[in-house]
Amino acid sequence: MSNKIILTGDRPTGCLHLGHYVGSLISRVNLQHQYKQFVMIADWQALTDNSENPEKVRNNVIEVALDYLAVGIDPKLTTIFIQSQVTELAELTLYYLNLVTMARLGRNPTVKSEMQQKGYANNNTPAGFYMYPISQAADITAFMANVVPVGEDQLPVIEQTNEIVRKFNSIYGPTLIEAQALLAKTSRLPGLDGKAKMSKSLNNAIFLSDSQDELKRKIMSMYTDSQHLKISDKGKIEGNMVFTYLDAFDSDKAEVAKLKEHYAAGGLGDVKLKNYLFEVLNNILTPIRNKRLELAQNINDVYAVLFNGSAQAKEVAQQTLENVRNAIGINYAKNK
């Protein structure tokens, strides 16, 4: 295990799904053996575009925590915490906002494209949302994170953070450290409908918490090949979500290759193919689902994990904030 620190997390706006599983959760379960890992449930960040729907954020904090624990993120190895419980992050955000110009804020391509997705014009974007990259810089620097796993589209977050770090250090003296992006190796998992992204809001997701029946129903609804009407028809592999998912989740690559050949040649029906995918996914999801149900029996224990993790995280952030205040010179009690 290295001494390096890794920070990652999710906005609690929904249960986690298979896209999260391949995109980040599996890797977190591995990374917790290599790094000191912090995983943040970013309720403040979720509120930046859900201010009118705080219940959603609130309720999903515990759902996300259940998902984390169910997949094997281990609180003995990973500090799982709730962003809002580490109030030091708010103060850091304020200091960093002074180091960023309005023009620079407006140039963040991640925020721009998210604004578009969410239907925000320049005008009606909540100010908190517009500046959430600065709040992320606070998250990353507060834990002195060396490494932050990101998708390609989130690279600007790291860039913005490191700009703030350099500016801060150049004005106030060496205090903060720059972070490195750890680019996700897996490509993004598309939705059941073949759309580019699996997401709750697009209603095309398989959740880690889905029951066996839901899993079956969703797989049966998956997009395959709209020209593949009869079993004997030749079928397309490319763009066929069942094969995309098999590529992503079936470790038996030889079997997948055989199925592709059969499907392409004709003679393999969608239902049979989907039943096969169901077996593959159900094998992966059953232990997660069971563990999740078990954890949900003692929800107070899950809260205890979160509060405990938040207390640990707070201790680290407090130290950073003290360094920051000393550097700026406004720790009056100390410096008078």
Binding residues for its own copies, rule: CB under 8 A, are 43-44, 47-49, 51-52, 54-55, 57-58, 61-62, 82, 84-85, 87-88, 90-91, 93-95, 97-105, 122-131, 134-135, 171-172, 299-300, 303, 306-307, 325, 328-330, 332-333, 335-336
Cα–Cα distance measured from residue 156 to residue 203, given in angstroms and rounded to the nearest whole number: 28
- DSSP-assigned states of every residue in 67-85: HHHHHT--TTTEEEEEGGG
Beta carbons within 8 Å of 15's beta carbon, 6+ residues apart: 60, 63, 64, 67, 200, 207, 208, 209
Supply the minimum distance, in Å, between the C-beta of residue 242 and its own copies: 40
Minimum CB distance to its own copies, residue 149 (Å): 25
Q: State in angstroms the smallest separation of the CB of 313 from its own copies.
A: 14
CA dist., res. 139 & res. 113, Å (int): 22
| Count of alpha carbons within 13 angstroms of residue 150, beta-carbon side | 17
Per-residue CA distances from 332 to 1, 87, 265, 317, 327 (Å): 39, 20, 77, 19, 12
Report, in Å, the least distance between residue 93 CB and its own copies. Answer: 7
Q: How far is the CB of 45 from its own copies (least distance, A)?
A: 10
DSSP letter at 192?
A: T
Cα 297 from Cα 6, distance rounded (Å)? 30
104 vs 197, beta carbon nearer its own copies: 104
Give 129 or 207: the residue with its C-beta nearer to its own copies.
129
Nearer to its own copies, 104 or 262 (CB): 104
Shortest distance in whole angstroms from residue 274 CB to its own copies: 40
| Nearest CB to its own copies, comparing residues 6 and 176 | 176
Structure tokens at 2: 């290295």
Buried b / exposed e across 172-207, counting CB within 10 Å, b at 16+?
beebbebbebbebeeeebbbbeeeeebbeeeebbbb
Tokens of 156: 């600007």
- Of 95 and 249, CB closest to its own copies: 95
Distance in Å, CB of 124 to its own copies, minimum: 5
In whole angstroms, give the CA distance from residue 225 to residue 241: 9
d(CA 96, CA 104): 13
Rounded Cα distance between 174 and 180, Å, is 18
Q: Name the minimum Å distance from CB 126 to its own copies.
A: 5
Nearest to its own copies of 138, 205 (CB atom): 138
Alpha carbon distance 309, 318 (integer Å)? 14
Nearer to its own copies, 66 or 134 (CB): 134
User: Which lies closer to its own copies via its Cβ, residue 1 or residue 102?
Assistant: 102
